[in-house]
Each structure stands twice: as C-alpha cells, then as structure tokens.
Chains A and B, each alone.
Chain A
Amino acid sequence: MIRQGKEATRRRVVITGMGIVTAFGAGKTENLNGLKNGTGAIGKINSFDVSQYRGKTGGEIRDFVFNLSLKTLRPSRLDRASKLLLTAFAEASFEAGFADNGIKEETIVVLGTTLGGMASGERFYRDWLKKGFNKTKPSLLLDYLAHYQGMHLIEENNLDAEVIIISNACASGTNAIGYAFDRIRSGDVDIAIAGGYDTMCEFTFAGFNSLMAVTPDLCRPFDRNRDGLILGEGVGIIIMEDLEHALSRKAKTVGEITGYGESSDAFHMTRPDPDGSGAALAMERALEDADIKPRDVEYINAHGTGTPYNDLSEAKAINSVFGKHAMDIPVSSIKPMIGHLLGGAGAVEAIATTLAMNNRFLPMNLNYEISDPECPVNVVTCAAQRDVRTAISNSFGFGGANATVVMQKFEVPKVKNSSFQL
C-alpha cells in the first residue's frame, strides 16, 4: 500500500539480480553473447504444426532442460511457463546473493504475462474438443490460469509475498517493472521480484497470423520492407531493491531504474494510434518521472515489432518526444533476434538494455536494410561499442497499453557524508 508519492521520498531503486531465458538460451552469458554477436535465434517452429500458417518461424527455446532440484513442487506437473519462471528466478536470486538463505523479508512478485499457462490450456481444450469433457484433466485448467505460475514461484521458494499478475498484452513486462518500481521508491517495500514471461503457443501464433501480423519472411523493425512480427518465448526476472537496502546487505548492484511512464491509446483493440500520441505520452511521462531531459537519453530500446503500424507510430512518437535530438539517439529492437516475447518482452528487453550498458555496447537491430522515410529513427545496424549511461525501453501492447521505463547505468554515489557507505 503506497502512502506517499515520489516527492516525499528520495529512495533509489536498483537492480541486484537478473535471470533470463530466451531463444538465445538460458542465462545471462548466453544472452549477452547472442546480443553482442547479433546472430538471430529464429528458426522453424517445432512445438506445433505450422504448415497451414502464413508465418512458419519463431524464437523457440530449443533443448530447454529444466534441471532445478525442487523442494516443494513436482516438476512433472508444471506448465512450461512455470519451469521458465523458476529457472530465471533461480539465476536472478543467485546473482542477488539469495542463493543460500532465500529472501526472508516480505516482498512482492509482480509479473507480466499474456497467456499464463496457455500450454496447459491448449491441452485442456484439445482433449475436450476431441474426446469430450470427461476425458479432460481439470488440473490443466488450474495451470492455465495466469496467477498459478507466480504462485508456484512463491511456493517453491517459500517467499512471504503477494503475487501480482499484470496482463496488458505486450506491455505487461514493462508495466510489472513500473509497478514494482513505484512500490519500492515510495518506501512501501524494500525488495521486489519483477518480470514477465510467455511461452510459444498455437493460440497466439494462430491469433497473430489471423490478424496478418506475423511475417512469412524476416522481422525487420523500422525497415521500409517490414511486414510483420515474429513470435518468441521467454522469461526475464529482475530483483529490484531500495539502494540503501542493497548496500546494507552488501549486494552487488547491476543497474538502476529511475523512471516509468504509462498511457493508453484508447484507439483500437489491435492497432496502435497512427499518430503515436499514446506512445509519446508514455515516454514523456517516464522522462519526467526520472527527472531528465530528452537529450539525456543515449539509447532507446524500441518496442519495434516489425509490423507496419507499430514501427510507424513508435517512430512518430520518438520524433515528437525527442525533437531535434531524435536522430542523435541510437534506436534498436532486439525482436528480430529472439522474437516478440509478448508478456516477457518488456522484462527481457530491460535486462538486455542493462547488459548492454554494463558491457558497453549497443544491441543491433538485425535485418535492417532499407530506411523508411516514414520511420526516421537512428537505427543501430551493427552491434557497436558505446558507453551508455541512460537508456529507455519501450513496450506497447494490443488494447492500446503503452509503457516506458528509464534505466541508468549504476554508479556508486560519490556524495560524501551520506549513508551510502560501502
């Protein structure tokens, strides 16, 4: 329960642990290498028959082996989404220094997802439609519910936590980080587990195909010949903490979140507002929230889905917010490499942005060839060395949800006589 706004408190919100599983593989090392090398991880979809669809490729996590030894849950009963979530959390919690004793204090788990346990839901529907109601397993229907994966996470890790599931389509992951950010900054909680996940499912694949949103070719955000997105799957989990709390327990700090903004288009269920005003509002609000000026932003991790509509309105929004600085700021979308992770996108992209800042490079916008005069942004065409201190990451979703998070490369405060003593 938040009792005061940001004016009343000066708490800084830092990242102390990150966990990630994408088509690049499990873990930060695999993902960092993938991002740096700029090799895509998109391939033909294996988990279901795609012969009847326009698009045939996706960013599946191949050869994913779930090898955590569980104390409470039975792995055979878990939905793929729960397995991904537990894996990423284990990595994040290890990095944050909680591997031995776990997180003992009260915390919140804020997760974005669009599908929850849809893989279980699909099995339920298939059994029922092919064999009849009485041949179904009702437990599949529980695993299908979007709040069960988060519940599995707290059960297995014995967390004293509330689970908050945000399902705002493709903006969900960024919304989750934003809400956790508010709860920590306001002094309501000292530590939060935030992120997002989604698995590759025929439901969404068929759905996005039916909307003609999936490309049969390559995903090429902001390119003149872009003609659609490519779906992926994955999870990103970050441990967020009040800076003083992190310092007091001598945790390693890997990044900082300094602002967040959100808005809605109120325009159309599946199309963004072509004038980009909703997206621009989210970015403006995030900059204002972080108390920075447009010229302070050194990298934009774009939503960049590769659909004609999204990239057009995002480019317009970037130009409207950054004005004459717009062409100075490098912009890239990592979706051509790993696909669009829906509820997982915002969290995975926030982690990718943090990894890029810490390793001093800009992730490239793969497959970009021909500039589009309608989308005048400064696209990163190859993974370039660059020191970035301030970046934003955008996520925009169906239903018109827009969210932007501002990230800062973490630097130890230089102020003397403060309580920041290492």
Chain B
Amino acid sequence: MIDPSVITGIGVVSPIGIGKKVFWNALIRKTSGIKEITKFDTTPYLCRRAAEITGFPFEDFITGQRFRRAADISRYAIGAVTLAIEDAGLKELNNRTSLIMGITHGAMNMSREFHRGLVSGDGASPMLFSDSVLNAPAGNVSVCFGIKGASHTLVGGGPIGIRAIGFASDLLTTKRADIVIVGGAEEFDEVVHHSYSRFGYLCKGNELSPFDINRNGFVMGEGAGVLVLERKKDALKRGARIYAEVSGWDVGFSLNRSDEAMAKIMGKTLDKGGVEPDLIGYISSGANGSSLDYLETGAIKKLFKKAPAPFIGSIKPDIGEAFSATTILQAVSASLVMESRMIPPNINLSTTHPEWHGLSIPIEVVKAPPIKAVMVNSIGIEGTCASLVMKRLEV
C-alpha cells in the first residue's frame, strides 16, 4: 500500500514578504517585489530591476552569531526553515529528520569575495570558503536546527525545486526518514545578474510578464521557500494540518527542445499521481518570459485538449526568477490556491501572447470552486523539464 507524502508546514522568505500569510496576501493584492536594484550600481545594464529582499529581520529568527554572519542564501534558508517548522508544529527534530535543499547558484556573494582574495593576493578566508560551497545553506540549516538525518544539496536550475520535493518524498517512501524539510534558496548577486544580462535573458526595460505579447525576458529574484513533508499516515496520526498531498512528479530533459518532452513529463506526472487532467484546477506555470516557455504552452495544449482548461498563473512577475527557490514558492502558492479556493491574479499582463491564446490566465483574483488538484511546472534554461502534481486531501 502506497503511503503518499503530504505537506504539513510552509515557510516563506520572499521579496513580497516573510511568512506564508504575508506572501499569499501580497499575491492576491497584486504586489510585485520587483524594484530598482539597490545592491550594486546598475549603470552598465539594460535591466536595472530585480526582486530583492530588503530589511530582512534575521534577528527575529536566529540569535547565534555564527549564522548572522552567514551568506544571505543561508540566512534566507534558516529563516524559511524556522517558519516551516513552526507552521508544522514540530517540537523536536532528530536523526529521523532529513533536509533537502535545492540550489542553483549558491552563495555567489561569498564565492566572489573568496576569489577576490585569491586574485588580489590578500589570501583565502576560511570563513568565506566554508560558507561559499554549494552545500553551505544545508550545512548551516542542519547545524542550526540539529537535523541529524541525511542532509542533501541538489543542484540544478528551476526544476531542481521539483526534484528536491520528489527526492524528499522518496526518502519518506523508503523510510530513510520520517520528516523531511525540503527547500529552495537563492541570493541575488551582480555576477548572476551580469551573466544573465549578457546572455540576453533579462527584461530590457519593461516589466516581467511571461504571458504578454511584449514579454522579453525575466528579472532576477531571491529568497527561500521551505516545505515540511511527512507520510500521510504519520501526519494524520499526529493531527497535523495537511496542506496537500504530493501525488506525482517527473523530471527529464528535452534534448531537441521540443514540447513533446514536456508533454511526456506532464503526462507521466499525472499518471504517477493518479490524477486525470480534468481534476487539475490550477497550473502554477514556470514561464518566465524566456525562449523555452513554449515547451510548457505546447504541452498544456496537448494534455488538456479535452479537459476544461485549468487556470494558469505565474508568480514570477511578483517575486522574480530565483530558480529553485521560486519553484518551491510555486508549490507553496499552488497549495494555498487549493486551501483558499482563490486564484492569484497575473500582474503586468495587458495583451495575451498568441502562444497562450485559448488558455485561462486570469488578471483579477478568481474565487474558484473547490480545486481538487494542482500542477506545478518548471523548465530550466538548459532544457530540463519538470512537473509536479499535488492533491487536496479529501476530508
């Protein structure tokens, strides 16, 4: 008998607010965290905006000096884990608790400063080194909260957020862990902004609006999203609040950049989750205005040909593109869609791009009928495709 994983806790550190309530209200109230960049001089760039986190009240979360000095990415992760643990009502973390972090670029700020030390001849800093490695956020979280089950750092683009949720669920199924804290975190840094700018991925002057006819790229974001996962039986037994069941997922690669691969992955995700397409009430789209968005559009059109078209939304105009962190926050918002029966509006959208014609992309809040299942999609710029299906628990 399969005992599925369920989400019992949510933690959010985002450019539109800290905590799931503030985050959700901001989405509903059409707030965007995208503003003029404050972290560095933007004169050389066409894109001068990003969704930064400003005034993060880290002291509210952590008192230890050690973690106060950690890189932003680790601090965001610690903040979001604190909130998720609290939300799940977990009293004790032990050696049956695991941690999975999805990371894309890691602590670029400290990595850059470490290299500056090497190039300038000032020498290497041990603190910068241990905090700039890819598994530093997971290491910091594990030490900070005493998580003695395995802690894993998975590396990839946006889709790694979905893989991390899948990996976490696998650990529960194989009973290698009883509770898994799974998150994504990223920090905004000039190196990354510069590079995506040079690749031509970033918006040139206009707003991030992936479904709009004038879409022309994304803007960077930062933050952390964290979920607490448990086996359904355990969660019911301890009377935990259950946001959603993590029913199915699939990740793959589109070698030839065709929507067939994404359609296959979304189809397998529905199959594995035992969900018919007509059960899906909302799709949290991974579209970010970049050149691979059509993979998802084509796949949605293929898969939902017969079913009533689900509502589609992207939270990236609100919080920017922070890859793995954004994908986990997509899962957060999709869970909250089922709970609140409200579809957050797509901001910045004035004229829908022909690619998305015929699909249901609301620009105002929709009070929806009960939504039984939701889908979260993500596509990496390198061609990785991922899809996740979550179900509302029957009560």
Contact = CB atoms under 8 A, between A and B. Distances in A.
Question: Does A pair with B?
Answer: yes
A348 to B, nearest CB: 19
A266 interface: yes
Contacts of B118: 202-203, 206
Interface string B83-123: 00000000000010001000111000001101110111001
A353 interface: no
> Which bracket fits the contact residues of B?
35 or more
Interface in A127-171: 128-130, 133-134, 136, 138, 141-142, 145-148, 151, 154-155, 158, 160-169
A209 interface: yes
Contacts of B176: 182, 262, 285
B376 interface: no
Contacts of B333: none
Interface in B120-136: 120, 123-126, 129-131, 133-136
Contact of A183 (B104, B130, B170, B272): B170
Given A2-B173, A146-B134, A206 B195 contact: no
Contacts of A179: 167, 170
Contacts of A160: 252
A207 B382 contact: no
Given A3-B2, A264-B148, A164 B163 contact: yes
Contacts of B326: none
Contacts of A210: 123-126, 129
A136 B249 CA distance: 38
Given A130-B119, A182-B170, A203-B114, A266 B142 contact: yes
A344 interface: no
A400 B98 CA distance: 13
B156 A168 contact: no
A182 B174 contact: yes
B220 interface: no
Query: Which one of A3, A266, A281 has the highest number of Cβ atoms from chain B below 10 Å of its Cβ?
Result: A266
A52 B129 CA distance: 17
A202 B121 CA distance: 13
B95 A263 contact: yes
Given A1-B248, A141-B191, A114 B134 contact: yes
Nearest to A130: B119
A155 B253 CA distance: 9
A321 B384 CA distance: 42
B61 interface: no
Contacts of A145: 104-105, 155
A401 B201 CA distance: 36
Interface string B161-177: 00100110110011110
A154 B139 contact: no
Contact of B124 (A4, A128, A166, A207): A207
A403 B176 CA distance: 12
B145 A266 contact: yes
Contacts of A264: 99, 142, 147-151
A21 to B, nearest CB: 22
Contact of A399 (B44, B142, B170): B142
Given A125-B115, A146-B134, A268 B2 contact: no
A399 B176 CA distance: 19
A266 B143 contact: yes
B47 interface: no
Contacts of A158: 255
Contacts of A208: 129
Contacts of B253: 151, 154, 161-163
Contact of B155 (A116, A138, A162, A285): A116
A167 B148 contact: no
Contact of B112 (A125, A155, A182, A183): A125
Contacts of B155: 113, 116, 145-147, 165-167
A158 B253 CA distance: 10
Contacts of A278: 148
Contact of B131 (A142, A269, A402): A269
22 contacts: A1-B169, A1-B249, A2-B169, A4-B173, A52-B123, A129-B120, A145-B104, A146-B155, A151-B384, A154-B253, A162-B163, A163-B253, A167-B135, A168-B151, A169-B139, A207-B124, A208-B129, A210-B129, A269-B131, A269-B143, A400-B139, A402-B150
User: What are the 10 A-B residue pairs with the smallest beta carbon separation, nearest first?
Assistant: A399-B139, A207-B129, A262-B150, A206-B124, A125-B115, A210-B124, A167-B134, A138-B198, A210-B126, A146-B155
Interface of A: 1-6, 52, 113-114, 116, 121-122, 125-126, 128-130, 133-134, 136, 138, 141-142, 145-148, 151, 154-155, 158, 160-169, 175, 179, 182-183, 186, 202-203, 206-211, 262-270, 278, 281, 285, 397-403
